[in-house]
A and B are shown apart, each in its own frame.
Chain A
Amino acid sequence: MAVIDAAVLERHGIKPDEYERILELMGREPNLLELGLFSVMWSEHCSYKSSRVHLKTLPTTGPRVVQGPGENAGAVDIGGGLCAVFKIESHNHPSFIEPYQGAATGVGGIIRDIFTMGARPIALLNALRFGSLDQPLARRIFEGVVAGVGGYGNSIGIPTVGGEIVFDDMYAGNPLVNVLCLGISRIDGIVKGAAKGAGNPVFYVGAKTGRDGIHGATMASAEFDEKSAEKRPAVQVGDPFMEKLLMEACLEVMTTGAVLGIQDMGAAGLSCATSEMGSRGGVGMTIDVMHVPQRETGMTPYEIMLSESQERMLLVVEKGREHEVTAVFEKWDLHAVQVGEVIDGTRLKIHERGVLVADVPNRALTDEAPVYRRPMQEPSWQTAAQQLSLAALGAPPSAQAAFDRLLTVPTIASKRWAYGQYDHSVGTNTIAQPGMSAAVVRVKGAPTGLAVSVDGNGRFCYLNPHRGAMLAVAEAARNVACAGGEPIGGTNNLNFGNPERPEIMWQLGEAVRGIGDACRALGIPITGGNVSLYNETEGRAIFPTPVLGVVGLLEDASKTTTRAFKQAGAIVVVLGDNLGELGGSEYLATMHGTVAGQPPALDLAREAAVQKLIIALIRGGLVESAHDCSEGGLAVTLAECTFNSGGVGVTAEVALATVATADTVPAAWLANAALFGESASRIVVSAPAGKLDAVLAAAADAGVPAAVIGKTGGDRVRLSVAGNVVVDSAIAEAEQSWATCIERRMSGHVR
């Protein structure tokens, strides 16, 4: 037997004090296999040991919550006996090492989480972060990730309907790939990942187990360095066809009622599935690894238990009904094999050809994993970063120059290069086409629809993690509301650096506090999510990037709208106040190379009122278009309203709200602050002239400022500030440069 010494512990990512705890829980020295189980289950990725104390503060309950955090995915009631099942998950580290497979298997993993609950997946979204497209490495990663996201989703036939992509050098060495999957289930059809009933057989089904992905969870819990490329064997290879078979077979087999519990084998593979199912069910489990189908010869129990081969499921079946289950899998040419059974007690017992090779209390691997209240310290540079003196930046560029430039910033430009590679029409539920702010899918067999958006702004969170996280929740919910959806549930993906550094931990703590504050104010329960830490390369952390996914309910799927203007002659109204806030804006970053200041202020009561108002306006048929105002401010928002509209232009006079005075905005900056400031809680709507009074009255009732700023029509975007026309562009040209920006960059034509 191998001696467990300091080197072995380090290779397993287990700290000396953690080993002491293992000795205590085991009551003896673990063997190497047992140590391996602890290594993966206690990894940051599986145990959430650094984030758990913070995550506990999030609101997770509400009248619509069918399933909160702790299961494979969350679920909320959408009426008619149905629920929306959804979760977001990251695959950041694998996507850096091997972009195509890393992204593809990320998609595969989250799809399994959804159908494992008994829900049919109907939509995928993703939030992606890459380095600047000026860098060949970033282009290669972007190209691979997009192909991988599409390759998996397209094959299995789940439409990728939306998402967001941001490019910033802060992600050059550490891209983010966060994928959200949404499914639909009958509420009474939800199946959970708990084992029950001693004597019930445990079945394994799906792909064979290979040596791929061993210690993937541990890899995802460490920083990158120059040796990261050597970790390529820890990235798994996806097989979407196998997943398709598994999905159809599992959904079919669950209708038999013979499946008592089911769990996919994702991170930490068989180790996680066996210990979590036993732990959740308060029972033990015994398996013999010789029954596990193996792709390679000579695999050790250690390798079998720690493999992260994709497309595998573990099921607990009611004894005596095995044939019902195997018959369904046979139909799909899958072989379900019994690998063990549920036992009394609470231990996980692993055998190799009948010989006991590991015997661990399963709660020791799951609930008893270490929980750290890691030290938190506001970074020394934080206050300095929040200082912004516009005057010190020199003379601002002309509004026209800034407008032209911002439309071709890849973060703002159309993402059609990416979504043109995603099948978004399969399933015949996609109402809003990709490229709109929120994705909208209908629910077949019901009048309802679901709007979904994923949002996050790393720059804001870097400047002020609490406020930045609140703004992420607000924006995701506002996008959903702009499609007519009432936000009913959320999921979060926390992407941060090394939690062992107090300033990173402070960012995480502040961000979670912000998510909690905003979710409570907006009535959005968080039903699950994912934490990805150690997003650092050679000691340089990414921007702290919490990504929020929000699901909204449309009671009537036909009552929705998009950002695009619908006809000439409509009145353009801005809901909310334009405070000219340039802190952390895309404008500052692009035109002045500066990331500084405070992110825009957020009044949560105002935000809630604005969202309620827009939902009522859309349901009442009073507005023809609605578009949330975010990166690039009002000018970019108005331009985007003219894009994909068939050439409906706009003429508008933009002003700052009177509360914003010359004290905060120097006179020379007035136009750019008014046009490109990113004040929160604002929505641009267009309404037919005959409905304007009703819109304004509804806004007044809601206590939301509403300013008539102009009219649709013509074939230009003409924006004036203080009576001077400062932006005047032909839509055709502006739209062309916006729409083709990314494909030009990807084909080697810079700008």
Chain B
Amino acid sequence: MKFSVVVFPGSNSDYDAFYAASAVIGEEAALVWHKDTDLQGADAVILPGGFAHGDYLRTGAIARFSPIMASVKAFADRGGPVLGICNGFQVLLEAGMLPGAMVRNDRIKFVSRLVPVRVEQTDTPFTAACASRQVLHMPVAHGEGNYYADPETLAALEEHRQVIFRYAGAAGEVTPATNINGSLNNIAGICNRQRNVVGLMPHPERATEAQLGSADGRVILASAVKALASLSR
């Protein structure tokens, strides 16, 4: 399958996602410039981490105006799998492709460390290969990862099982103590109602090799491969 990774000028994990998809997972991958409109035959699209346009306004606020985003939206509307990682998640929120918003971490400071995250739902293209309630160790590195939504939106997210990842303990327990940034309901990642667009703050692409501290993130990319294979069967 082919992963297309969108490159905004301030993306800084674009190559990491490309490398994980191609060199580590062994799938085809392409880097797609944000001013282009051609997704280059993508089977799945990744919006990578970084600071898309400097993000001095709000994280991801300007990226939604990049020409490629119309193509990403159309791709998603056709049911194509889209994964937003960190800043990519923020871009999806700003673009209205996922509900809610990000605010400053509750402890104000940038948070950078390996954290356990519990997989809540396995019926998305990016969790299809996960076990139910599987705990994945992946790095986070963000200053604005505090997920917020109004009460109705939050209730709807929970009702429709759209919360895909939660910050947890190593044993999978989800408590206020395992909430690293103040996110409502310990939310680390969500999906849209159609379940094909997923955004998360942790970085699966940085956790694909044991040498780097964790290979737990491979299953996220492997899920996309599995999901595509089951579709084409």
**Chain A contact residues, CB within 8 Å of chain B:** 147, 150-151, 154-157, 239-242, 244-245, 248, 331-333, 419-431, 433, 442, 444, 557-558
Taking a contact as CB atoms closer than 8 A, the residue among B12, B20, B114, B205 that contacts A157 in the complex is B12
Interface status of B37 (Cβ within 8 A of chain A): no
- Determine if B12 and A241 form an interchain contact, defined as CB atoms under 8 angstroms apart: no
- What residue of chain B has the Cβ atom nearest to residue A245's Cβ? B9
Interface status of B96 (Cβ within 8 A of chain A): no
- Determine if A426 and B110 form an interchain contact, defined as CB atoms under 8 angstroms apart: no
Known: A244-B12, A428-B205. A433 touches B19 (CB 8 A): no
Contacts of A444 in B (CB 8 A): 19
Known: A155-B51, A421-B109. A428 touches B20 (CB 8 A): yes
Size bracket, chain B contacts:
20 to 34
Closest-CB distance, B182 to chain A (whole angstroms): 16
Taking a contact as CB atoms closer than 8 A, the residue among A244, A245, A425, A558 that contacts B112 in the complex is A425
Contacts of A426 in B (CB 8 A): 12-13, 16, 49, 141, 206
- Determine if B12 and A156 form an interchain contact, defined as CB atoms under 8 angstroms apart: yes
- Determine if A241 and B54 form an interchain contact, defined as CB atoms under 8 angstroms apart: yes
- Determine if A420 and B111 form an interchain contact, defined as CB atoms under 8 angstroms apart: yes
Taking a contact as CB atoms closer than 8 A, the residue among A239, A419, A558 that contacts B211 in the complex is A558
As a 0/1 sequence over residues 30 to 57 of chain B, the CB contacts with chain A under 8 angstroms (1 = contact) are 0001010000000000000111011110
Complex Cα distance, B203 from A239, in Å, reads 25
- Determine if B16 and A428 form an interchain contact, defined as CB atoms under 8 angstroms apart: yes
Closest-CB distance, A563 to chain B (whole angstroms): 16
Contacts of B20 in A (CB 8 A): 428
Interface status of B212 (Cβ within 8 A of chain A): yes
Would you mind naming 11 contact pairs between A and B with Cβ atoms under 8 Å apart? A154-B112, A154-B141, A157-B12, A241-B54, A331-B35, A420-B111, A420-B113, A421-B110, A424-B112, A425-B112, A433-B213
Contacts of B35 in A (CB 8 A): 331
- Determine if A241 and B19 form an interchain contact, defined as CB atoms under 8 angstroms apart: no
- Determine if A241 and B205 form an interchain contact, defined as CB atoms under 8 angstroms apart: no
- Determine if B53 and A241 form an interchain contact, defined as CB atoms under 8 angstroms apart: yes
Contacts of A157 in B (CB 8 A): 11-13, 50-51
Closest-CB distance, A328 to chain B (whole angstroms): 13
Complex Cα distance, B66 from A535, in Å, reads 47
Q: Which of B139, B205, B211, B213 counts the most chain A CB atoms within 10 A?
A: B211
Closest-CB distance, B19 to chain A (whole angstroms): 6
Chain A to chain B: the 3 pairs with minimum beta-carbon distance, closest first? A157-B12, A241-B54, A423-B141
Known: A333-B9, A428-B16. A422 touches B211 (CB 8 A): no
- Determine if B112 and A422 form an interchain contact, defined as CB atoms under 8 angstroms apart: yes
Known: A428-B206, A433-B213, A558-B211. A423 touches B112 (CB 8 A): yes
- What residue of chain B has the Cβ atom nearest to residue A558's Cβ? B211
Complex Cα distance, B224 from A245, in Å, reads 31
- What residue of chain B has the Cβ atom nearest to residue A157's Cβ? B12
Taking a contact as CB atoms closer than 8 A, the residue among B10, B113, B206 that contacts A244 in the complex is B10
Q: Which of A425, A444, A557 counts the most chain B CB atoms within 10 A?
A: A425
Known: A424-B112, A557-B211. A244 touches B9 (CB 8 A): yes
| Cβ < 8 Å to A, chain B residues 122-148 | 139, 141, 143
Contacts of B114 in A (CB 8 A): 425
Complex Cα distance, B56 from A431, in Å, reads 31
Complex Cα distance, B16 from A444, in Å, reads 11
- Determine if B12 and A428 form an interchain contact, defined as CB atoms under 8 angstroms apart: no
Complex Cα distance, B69 from A694, in Å, reads 60
Q: Which of A157, A248, A430, A442 counts the most chain B CB atoms within 10 A?
A: A157
- Determine if B139 and A425 form an interchain contact, defined as CB atoms under 8 angstroms apart: yes
Contacts of A155 in B (CB 8 A): 10, 12, 51, 54-55
- Determine if A241 and B56 form an interchain contact, defined as CB atoms under 8 angstroms apart: yes
Closest-CB distance, A449 to chain B (whole angstroms): 9
Contacts of A428 in B (CB 8 A): 16, 19-20, 205-206, 208-209, 212
Contacts of A244 in B (CB 8 A): 9-10, 12, 51, 54
Complex Cα distance, B205 from A429, in Å, reads 12
Complex Cα distance, B50 from A425, in Å, reads 12
- What residue of chain B has the Cβ atom nearest to residue A422's Cβ? B112
- Determine if B12 and A442 form an interchain contact, defined as CB atoms under 8 angstroms apart: no
Contacts of A424 in B (CB 8 A): 112, 141
Complex Cα distance, B110 from A424, in Å, reads 12
Taking a contact as CB atoms closer than 8 A, the residue among A156, A242, A248, A425 that contacts B203 in the complex is A425
Closest-CB distance, B134 to chain A (whole angstroms): 21
Complex Cα distance, B213 from A543, in Å, reads 38
- What residue of chain A has the Cβ atom nearest to residue B111's Cβ? A420
As a 0/1 sequence over residues 104 to 121 of chain B, the CB contacts with chain A under 8 angstroms (1 = contact) are 000001111110000000
- Determine if A420 and B112 form an interchain contact, defined as CB atoms under 8 angstroms apart: yes
- Determine if B139 and A147 form an interchain contact, defined as CB atoms under 8 angstroms apart: no
Complex Cα distance, B206 from A427, in Å, reads 8
Complex Cα distance, B56 from A442, in Å, reads 32
- Determine if B109 and A147 form an interchain contact, defined as CB atoms under 8 angstroms apart: yes
- Determine if A425 and B109 form an interchain contact, defined as CB atoms under 8 angstroms apart: no
Complex Cα distance, B103 from A505, in Å, reads 51
Complex Cα distance, B60 from A485, in Å, reads 40
| Cβ < 8 Å to A, chain B residues 174-233 | 203, 205-206, 208-209, 211-213
- Determine if B9 and A423 form an interchain contact, defined as CB atoms under 8 angstroms apart: no
Q: Which of B19, B55, B112 counts the most chain A CB atoms within 10 A?
A: B112
Taking a contact as CB atoms closer than 8 A, the residue among B10, B16, B109, B212 that contacts A431 in the complex is B212
- Determine if A419 and B10 form an interchain contact, defined as CB atoms under 8 angstroms apart: no
Contacts of B112 in A (CB 8 A): 150, 154, 419-425
Known: A155-B10, A244-B12. A430 touches B110 (CB 8 A): no
Complex Cα distance, B56 from A425, in Å, reads 22
- What residue of chain B has the Cβ atom nearest to residue A155's Cβ? B51
Complex Cα distance, B56 from A429, in Å, reads 27
Contacts of B55 in A (CB 8 A): 155, 241
Complex Cα distance, B55 from A331, in Å, reads 19
Taking a contact as CB atoms closer than 8 A, the residue among A241, A331, A429 that contacts B10 in the complex is A241
Closest-CB distance, B170 to chain A (whole angstroms): 11
Closest-CB distance, B123 to chain A (whole angstroms): 29
- What residue of chain B has the Cβ atom nearest to residue A444's Cβ? B19
- Determine if B12 and A332 form an interchain contact, defined as CB atoms under 8 angstroms apart: no
Complex Cα distance, B50 from A151, in Å, reads 12
As a 0/1 sequence over residues 1 to 24 of chain B, the CB contacts with chain A under 8 angstroms (1 = contact) are 000000001111100100110000
Contacts of B10 in A (CB 8 A): 155, 241, 244-245
Contacts of A429 in B (CB 8 A): 212
Contacts of B54 in A (CB 8 A): 155, 239-242, 244
Closest-CB distance, A621 to chain B (whole angstroms): 16
Complex Cα distance, B65 from A148, in Å, reads 29
- What residue of chain B has the Cβ atom nearest to residue A249's Cβ? B9
Contacts of A422 in B (CB 8 A): 110, 112
- What residue of chain A has the Cβ atom nearest to residue B207's Cβ? A425
- What residue of chain A has the Cβ atom nearest to residue B205's Cβ? A428
- Determine if B110 and A150 form an interchain contact, defined as CB atoms under 8 angstroms apart: yes
Closest-CB distance, B155 to chain A (whole angstroms): 33
Contacts of A427 in B (CB 8 A): 16
Contacts of A147 in B (CB 8 A): 109-110
Complex Cα distance, B143 from A150, in Å, reads 10
Closest-CB distance, B140 to chain A (whole angstroms): 9
Closest-CB distance, A333 to chain B (whole angstroms): 7
Closest-CB distance, B217 to chain A (whole angstroms): 10
Q: Which of B11, B54, B114, B205 counts the most chain A CB atoms within 10 A?
A: B54
Complex Cα distance, B111 from A485, in Å, reads 30
Contacts of A558 in B (CB 8 A): 211
Closest-CB distance, B59 to chain A (whole angstroms): 11
Closest-CB distance, A598 to chain B (whole angstroms): 40
Contacts of B12 in A (CB 8 A): 155-157, 244, 426
- Determine if B211 and A431 form an interchain contact, defined as CB atoms under 8 angstroms apart: yes
Complex Cα distance, B211 from A578, in Å, reads 34
Contacts of A248 in B (CB 8 A): 9
Complex Cα distance, B141 from A156, in Å, reads 13
Taking a contact as CB atoms closer than 8 A, the residue among A241, A425, A442 that contacts B141 in the complex is A425
Complex Cα distance, B19 from A427, in Å, reads 10
Contacts of A333 in B (CB 8 A): 9
Taking a contact as CB atoms closer than 8 A, the residue among A239, A245, A425, A431 that contacts B206 in the complex is A425
